């Protein structure tokens, strides 16, 4: 009897220990409300992966029983995975959100939950935009356009103004990304028409935050179109749209949005400066980039931060080449080097190659200005890095341009070292590229290759 009593006492003590010491979430592991509270806490701490897992567990407990909760938990799981993918550059999380979003859509349809269906399509469409942009996948972007178009067909402008404005902004953003990826002006022009029409209805006095979001989307779209056109009309209008957006989304109210808009203003000013060649415009672009970088960080904006640093470097490089001096060129070099450290080839291969191309350009400028063989050697190395991504099959013209610029750096290095071996190496590299270019029927850079090849021959003949 004593042994039985001792075992029972020990069992009760163990139970008391579990109830008093172990966390509540463990003690009540079968309660979906506990998982929901844990998920909300994790979301507040930006621990999106943990939040998604807790919402998944809550969903598993209620599915097949409480359809309302099942829908809510499944949608929140998808949203948490989407946030994990966007904020932490996690492609697997973005892909992983697809199934929960589809489940939530099916549940909304079965329950005739119109509001839930609209919310899910908007959230899913935004995830597809991020996934398509990161993967440079036009199919995903077209899917996002289709999703947003289906929402605009359902939402009523008169009685659901805020949601209507949101869906119009989302559709415009999807068309902007699709147009950028497919290099199709028709998508950009359609986006501009949709966003301008939305601004006529979504007035600032009724929905200031939504109005600012539409202005920002319009600025991005006009910026992209302006970069493809010879005149500056759309670039000027892009600046006006970005400035309208930050009149509402100020640095104090929305610092992240304000910084992205400042970077967009810098991009438009840089585009205008390249066309008109006025130093003051390059300086204004640098000021806009500096404003953006005073707020954004590599952690908060893993794609926009290196983009802003790169374009700031481009403006400084133009000023330096225009006579601003070595100090300005060194600032440009520092900007490109900072961008190269943070740029991710897998996530943004074109950005990664562009940054190394610009780094090669500023190192060559420094090498020639300072008579520095070391800078020219580093310039050649930077072009070689860029050529890991730039290939004839991927983009013939970009590849040819990189080969030509690298050849220029070889020629400059040979002249400063008086080393025929460098001239021979540069000439041979250039001619291999030139022959490859001609074999693919390339013509745009043929004259440049010919001129540079003659430069090598002349240097070797001396």
Give buried/exposed letters for 346-361 (b at 16+ CB in 10 A, else e).
Answer: ebbbebbbbbbbbbbb
In whole angstroms, what is the distance from residue 69 CA to residue 59 CA?
7
- Model pLDDT for residues 222-268, shown as the tens digit of each residue: 999 999 999 999 999 999 999 999 999 999 999 999 999 999 999 99
Residue 38: name the closest of 104, 29, 81 by CA: 29
In whole angstroms, what is the distance from residue 373 CA to residue 379 CA?
10
Return the structure tokens found at 264. 């967009």
Q: Decide if 222 contacts 267 (C-beta within 8 A).
A: no
Q: Could you state, in order of their start, the residue ranges of all structural domains in the chain?
A: 262-389, 409-462
Check residue 5 and give its pLDDT.
40
Check residue 1 and give its pLDDT.
46
Terminal Cα-to-Cα distance of the chain (whole angstroms): 110
Element counts in the chain: helices (H) and strands (E):
21, 0
Check residue 29 and give its pLDDT.
53
Q: Decide if 423 contacts 459 (C-beta within 8 A).
A: yes
Give buried/exposed letters for 443-458 (b at 16+ CB in 10 A, else e).
Answer: eebeebbeebbebbee
**Strand ranges for 43-111 from DSSP E:** none
Check residue 16 and give its pLDDT.
35
**Which segments in the chain show pLDDT lower than 50?**
1-6, 8-28
Query: For the domain 262-389, what is the CATH code?
Result: 1.25.40.10
The owner of tokens 């420094």 is: 366
In whole angstroms, what is the distance from residue 331 CA to residue 96 CA?
42
In whole angstroms, what is the distance from residue 254 CA to residue 261 CA?
11
In whole angstroms, what is the distance from residue 447 CA to residue 440 CA?
15
């Amino acid at each position: 009897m004593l042994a039985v009593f001792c075992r029972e006492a020990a069992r009760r003590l163990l139970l008391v220990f579990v109830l008093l010491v172990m966390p509540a979430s463990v003690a009540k592991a079968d309660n979906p409300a506990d998982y929901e509270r844990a998920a909300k806490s994790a979301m507040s701490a930006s621990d999106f992966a943990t939040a998604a897992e807790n919402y998944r567990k809550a969903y598993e407990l209620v599915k097949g029983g409480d359809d309302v909760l099942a829908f809510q938990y499944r949608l929140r799981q998808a949203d948490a995975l989407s946030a994990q993918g966007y904020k932490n550059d996690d492609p697997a999380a973005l892909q992983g959100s697809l199934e929960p979003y589809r489940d939530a859509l099916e549940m909304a349809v079965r329950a005739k939950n119109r509001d839930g269906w609209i919310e899910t399509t908007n959230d899913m469409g935004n995830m597809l935009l991020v996934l398509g942009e990161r993967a440079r996948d036009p199919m995903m972007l077209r899917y996002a356009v289709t999703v947003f178009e289906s929402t605009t067909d359902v939402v009523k402008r008169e009685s659901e103004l805020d949601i209507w404005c949101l869906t119009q902004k989302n559709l415009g953003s999807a068309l902007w990304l699709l147009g950028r990826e497919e290099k199709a002006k028709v998508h950009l022009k359609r986006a501009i028409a949709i966003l301008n029409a939305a601004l006529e209805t979504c007035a600032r006095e009724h929905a200031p935050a939504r109005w600012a979001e539409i202005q920002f989307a319009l600025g991005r779209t006009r910026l992209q179109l302006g970069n493809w056109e010879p005149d500056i009309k759309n670039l000027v209008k892009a600046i006006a749209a970005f400035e309208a957006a930050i009149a509402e989304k100020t640095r104090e109210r929305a610092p992240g949005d304000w910084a992205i808009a400042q970077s967009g203003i810098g991009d438009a000013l840089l585009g205008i400066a390249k066309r008109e060649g006025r130093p003051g415009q390059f300086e204004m672009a640098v000021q806009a980039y500096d404003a953006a970088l005073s707020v954004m960080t590599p952690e908060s904006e893993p794609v926009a931060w290196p983009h802003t640093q790169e374009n700031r470097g481009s403006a400084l490089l133009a000023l330096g080449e225009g006579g601003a001096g070595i100090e300005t060129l060194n600032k440009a070099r520092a900007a490109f080097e900072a961008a190269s450290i943070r740029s991710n080839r897998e996530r943004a291969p074109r950005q990664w190659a562009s940054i190394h191309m610009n780094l090669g350009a500023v190192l060559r400028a420094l090498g020639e200005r300072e008579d520095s063989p070391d800078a020219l050697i580093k310039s050649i190395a930077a072009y070689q890095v860029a050529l890991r991504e730039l290939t004839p099959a991927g983009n013939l013209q970009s590849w040819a341009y990189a080969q030509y610029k690298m050849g220029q750096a070889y020629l400059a290095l040979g002249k400063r070292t008086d080393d025929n071996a460098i001239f021979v190496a540069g000439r041979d590299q250039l001619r291999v590229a030139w022959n490859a270019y001609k074999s693919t029927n390339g013509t745009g850079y043929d004259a440049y290759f010919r001129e540079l090849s003659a430069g090598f021959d002349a240097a070797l003949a001396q």
